[in-house]
Amino acid sequence: MLPKRLRLLLVAALVLILSQFSLALAAPTLRYTLSMSAPQTHYFEVEMTLGGFGKQYTDVKMPVWAPGSYLVREFAKNVEGFTAQAGGQALRAEKMDKNTWRVYHPRAKDFTVRYKVYAFELSVRTSFIDASHGYLNGTSVFMYPAENKMLPSTLTVQPATGWTQVSTSLKPVAGGAPFTFSSTSYDELADSPIEIGTHKVLSFVANGTPHTVAMYGNALYDEARLLADMKRVCEEAHRVVGQNPLDRYVFIVHNIERGTGGLEHLYSTTLSVSRTAYSSEKGIKDFLGLVAHEYFHLWNVKRIRPIALGPFDYDHENYTHMLWVSEGGTEYFSNIINQRAGVVTPEGYLADLGNSIGRVENTPGNKVQSAAESSFDAWIKYYRPNENSANTGISYYDKGEVIGATLDLMIINATQGQKSLDDVMRYLYAEYYQKRKRGFTDEEYQDAVAKVAGQRFDEFFLTRVYGTQTLDYSTVLGYAGLTLNVAQATGASLGASLAATGVSLSAAGTPSGGRYVVTSVLRDGSAWQGGLNVNDEVLTLDGTRVTEDLNKLLADRSVGSEVRLMVNREGQPKELRFPLLASPARRYRIEQVASPTEAQLVVLRKWLRAKS
């Protein structure tokens, strides 16, 4: 017979094993089924099967926004027909707030929720279904149990009749039903868009990782060239950080009449482009720029991220001052990546950077809003622009891009060509994504730059990133033996934009007739000083009826000449007289100095991988 002490130990061990086994049996489970029985009506049908939920009630939620697109979109507005059942019996359910439903199941641990989602907005941020295909972002279709956001789940997609393809970065369930996928948490499910239909599927391998390209829509393209170009861009992007976090990657490409851009995800991206984009070299270059931008996000944002951007609060805005790094910095790297990949020449890159500087410096709001403020206010400003936005704000994409170029040159110069902004990204990846498993703070980003550069740039961040002081382009470009040529625009300028309505085309194909309405007025320009308002309809110029764009009619006027306008303001005629001021616009062009020093060539070679 076993000693009493040993028997007690065995009993205790058995109790522990049984308790753990019971807990395993009681662990909640979650399964989704997505169907689309009548795609022409623009509805997805969702079934959630929740098991092992032992409380009296369970709250389920629909997110209010989609990560990567910083706007509260209120996805719950598209939900209808919410019901819950257990054992074939209806359960009581009530809506608690705008995006939360409470299901009461006091005698049932297992129950099913069903609802429909109206999806008829084809953008990279939302969801869409019609007779030709279905596309969804998880945040706008799938709910989640409020207290179990990290619960693993399975998803079975039941395509509409005749649809044979389902493209997503979610992993298929081995041995499961057709089109059944798993996710480790709601975050992964929400971050894995799905394309459903009869689309063409292409593939290539980059850095040993399989890449799939789901091509929806009719478009003419050279398949071999497209895949070769994308592969080259992806491999160049990998070289920036030098770490491959992927075991698969999916591009979902919507070829439509007018593209809406792209949106990044953990193992995939959705690109929305014009179906004619591949018909010209410029169109191909722009497409590859979008590919590079969204692909580089798999490091910058999805893994190297500001601390506010994950884990996500799907109920509220997630604020950060660092979108100039996450988005603007990604735009900077995407252009550098395409230059390194040979998509554009070094000269072409410098021309594009000069244009980017022009967009920043010719925007009056650049003197009003800093890059950090622009980032923080994305939720209420960038995604909700109005007619005065250019006067009061600056894009964190544009400003962040030129800040990125400036920082890169500062680091390269400070280290005599030994380090660059690439090394900052590598440090952030290793220190925060891999080691600390979290995002970085504003201060930690500055510390990372200082660690790589061997010196601090606190004054730069204070005045140029968190302040509105003009970037010192001449100095930093001078590090690389480059100069910034600034040319003042000649002639007078109205300083206002107009939109035409009701315009017809003559037999010669030129626009005529119609109404010309003011859509924006530039701060401190002629129209601003003269009292021309947004929404004014311009009727006459110096007594003559206006039948074409006012800016075209004034193109040959001299600075100081007076204009006399009759406008219709809210149904009342009003005369305005004011002088035309000089155009404030400037053109920026980057040029190489005639005889760069060896130190300057070292910086240039490191920056653009230039040979001379």
- Give the pLDDT band of residue 501 (cuts 50, 70, 90): confident
Report how far residue 612's alpha carbon sits from residue 469's, in angstroms, rounded to the nearest whole number.
33
How far CA 414 is from CA of 13, 19, 154, 343, in Å, comes to 62, 61, 51, 29
- Give the pLDDT band of residue 489 (cuts 50, 70, 90): confident
Q: Kindly state the tokens that stand for 385.
A: 């622009």
What is the share, in percent, of the chain residues with pLDDT greater than 70?
93
- The confidence score (pLDDT) of residue 9 equals 57
Q: Kindly state the tokens that stand for 121.
A: 């907005």
- Say yes or no to pLDDT of 125 above 90: yes
- The confidence score (pLDDT) of residue 511 equals 54
- Express each pLDDT in 391-423 by its tens digit: 999 999 999 999 999 999 999 999 999 999 999
Least confident of 16-25, 165-174, 367-376: 16-25
- The confidence score (pLDDT) of residue 19 equals 44
| Non-local CB neighbours of 388 within 8 Å, separated by 6+ positions | 520, 521, 534
Q: Per-residue pLDDT averaged across 46-74, rounded?
A: 97
The three-state secondary structure class of 153 is strand
Residue 214 phi/psi, 5-degree rounding, is -95, 110
Which carries the bigger pLDDT value, residue 12 or residue 582?
Answer: 582
Ordered domains of the chain (ranges, CATH): 27-196 (2.60.40.3650), 200-288 (3.30.2010.30), 323-482 (1.10.390.10), 492-582 (2.30.42.10)
Rounding to the nearest 10 degrees, give the CA dihedral for residues 547, 551, 553, 554: 150
Which carries the bigger pLDDT value, residue 252 or residue 510?
Answer: 252
Q: Which of 118, 140, 157, 126 is nearest to 39 (CA)?
A: 118
Report how far residue 6's alpha carbon sits from residue 431's, in angstroms, rounded to the nearest whole number.
47
- The confidence score (pLDDT) of residue 15 equals 47
- Give the pLDDT band of residue 506 (cuts 50, 70, 90): low
Which carries the bigger pLDDT value, residue 69 or residue 7?
Answer: 69
- Please state, as a whole number, how many other Cβ atoms lie within 10 Å of the Cβ of residue 576: 17
Average pLDDT of the chain, as a whole number? 94
- The confidence score (pLDDT) of residue 177 equals 87
- Express each pLDDT in 528-561 by its tens digit: 999 999 999 999 999 999 999 999 999 999 999 9
Q: Which of 387, 386, 449, 444 is nearest to 414 (CA)?
A: 449
- Count of residues for the chain? 612
Report how far residue 460's alpha carbon sits from residue 441's, in angstroms, rounded to the nearest whole number.
17
Q: Per-residue pLDDT averaged across 253-276, rounded?
A: 97
- The confidence score (pLDDT) of residue 612 equals 43
Q: Per-residue pLDDT averaged across 289-304, rounded?
A: 98
- Say yes or no to pLDDT of 109 above 50: yes
pTM value is: 0.92
DSSP code of residue 595: S
- Give the pLDDT band of residue 176 (cuts 50, 70, 90): confident
- Say yes or no to pLDDT of 357 above 70: yes
Q: Kindly state the tokens that stand for 524.
A: 């401190």
165 neighbors 214 (Cβ within 8 angstroms): yes
- Express each pLDDT in 45-56 by its tens digit: 999 999 999 999
Q: Per-residue pLDDT averaged across 425-438, rounded?
A: 98
Report how far residue 214's alpha carbon sits from residue 114's, in angstroms, rounded to the nearest whole number.
29
- The confidence score (pLDDT) of residue 24 equals 44
Report how far residue 602's alpha carbon sits from residue 612's, in angstroms, rounded to the nearest whole number.
9
Q: Per-residue pLDDT averaged across 440-444, rounded?
A: 98
Could you tell me where the beta strands, DSSP code E, fall in 56-104? 57-61, 79-86, 89-90, 93-97, 100-104
- Say yes or no to pLDDT of 17 above 80: no
Q: Which residue's structure tokens are 């979008």? A: 290
Terminal alpha carbon distance of the chain: 88
